[in-house]
Structure 1
Amino acid sequence: MSNKNAAKRRETPADAVNDLEQQFILRLPPGPAMALRHDVQTGSLTLKDKLSIEMQPDMRHARVRYGGEIFSAKLVDLPCIIDSLKTVDKKTFYKTADINKMLICTTEDDLSQEESDSPKKKDKEQKKFIYNHGITPPLKNVKKRRFRKTLKKKFMDQPEIEKEVKRLFRYDAEAIDVKWEIIRDEAEASTSGQIMEGSTSSRKIPPGLLQNEQETSMDVASYFGEVSSSEDEDKDINIMDSGEDEASRGPSTPRISYGSLDRTASESQDIPETDTGFQQYKLSELSSQLTQIRQKRHRKRLESMEANIEKEKLQDDYEDQFSQADSEKFDI
């Protein structure tokens, strides 16, 4: 029994491929189009006998017969996709398919005249079947007026390139010793490998300089410290008073000494001569910052001295007035 069932299953496979519904627009000349529309709306039972479509092997040309007339048809590609909807109550619509092709029916004379007018387009099969218009009069030449041109791909000699790459890999596998080198683009190297000095002269930086620059560049925060709160932003650094009492300094007040600057100077001497321009630029920048800090500190000192003098003067005036008041009491 099992063998018979198996034989029956083989005869009727369950994985039968069913073609999906495909739709296209059929455009007939004005007279036959009105007659066909009337037959469709009235539900004529003889429509199957009246209308027949026979496609050619290239699936681009066809012969359409309606009634006693025979038309030559051409299947063209529409500029865009059109949704096909169905309804029963004219309120709810259901999408059934995407339409992107139209079968245009013409007479024999029109088709032969069209082919004779454009003999050069026979080589370009794709452009022959691209329709530049829409399905309504306002969309005439819509593909040229509203659609952007398609970018053309520039095909390279990909097979030859792959063949050359495989050959190089094969040589590398067979070689005893392999050496490789990274070559940078000249434009990129010129932009990232040159710096302009004060004398408007450019020099090339060696490849290892970018790494040495990060290692040997002087950090300003390491010398001037970091402010721990917003209240210390108004405070200034006193470089000259390095021997003052440490108790007078706050815990967040940065300290700096000339020994650190001497140490950086000695380290800068160990750097190769190729980095001297960069180090000189950094040193000049630091020296300008030190000068600004000293000037600011000097101004603060003057302001504090003036405030102290005014305070002493007010205190002397108050003591004089107090002494005069005491003397007047004793006289009374």
Structure 2
Amino acid sequence: MVQPLEITIERSVNKKEKPPEDQLGFGTYFTDHMFIMDYAIEKGWHQPRIVPYQPILLDPAAKVFHYGQTIFEGLKAYLTDDGRTLLFRPQKNLQRLNRSNERLSIPEIDEALVLDALKQLIAVDQDWIPTEAGTSLYIRPFVFATQPALGVSPSTHYQFMIIMSPVGAYYPEGVNPVKIFVESEYVRTVIGGVGEAKTAGNYAAGLKAQEIAKEQGYSQVLWLDGIHRKYIEEVGSMNVFFKIKGTVYTPSLNGSILDGITRNSIIHLLKHWNIPVVEQILSIEELYEAGKAGFLEEAFGTGTAAVISPIGELSWCDEKLVINQGQTGDLSQRLYDTLSGIQRGTISDPFDWMLEVEGSAPVAVSSKNSNL
């Protein structure tokens, strides 16, 4: 019988000064510790450890630099009013991490071991979890190829790491609507590519278009499919939803769209509320026609970082489409309030999404404030 790996902990003796919670931004500050685990083809995954946050030392020939063999995840921890620490559906993130691993030819990780490591890491740095409304502890697990060799083939050595960052709102607009530029020239990915994996190349491919959109005053890019340049896929790094004549539509998972954890949760909530929700292909022409006819009632992006990001305006081929008079819609606000409430433990969790990190006070959450 294979013995489980023991996670060692080395505590930092030089603690960082914590930033003011009203100045966090997103992904700017990092906690005192990180998790590391190594992989070698002859040993498998080994030496899991929590150590002080520190730079990474890599050989210049490490394959991650030359062939982009790397994947990552993103999830959050929340501190409740009664002092408990909650994680939102972490098992789903680890399952998706392994799907990304498989697509990038990276060895599978032990999800139970990593979940245990994540809990221990959060417990070590628990005082980094911010408490102000709209804040959380963002968690970034990632894997990268470390074998020092040039040659296009999967690496034989890897490192898996988890770093954490106290964060505020992802967009400066917060839960207020953002303006989105519909990208018609560049594409992010195609069916059969790596669009459904969380790999760095997907995001690097979008930087140029995002840069152009911001120069024109837009917060993000709405991606169209890479073949026909007409079917809606994602908005920035988020899944996207549209409420048209009372029914909510979102692009179906086709192999080039990320299977978002928040996306999945929003669909669950909509069905729970008996609001029609349809997963299907949707063209930008159909969306604009619905908007011109007055049928497009709301639009919003969904993702771990922003949770819900209402869309107030689209620009496609120099034609602007204002949605819901540029205001946050009732459904967008209800979804944000409900999902955020579940995550923070202020309303009931009928789906058993939240996982409590051991060591916090086990106080039951009342359902009296639930708006489910």
TM-score, L = length of structure 2: 0.16
Name the TM-score, length of structure 1 as normaliser: 0.18
Greater strand share, structure number:
2
Q: Which has the higher contact order (CA 8 A, sep 6+)?
A: 2
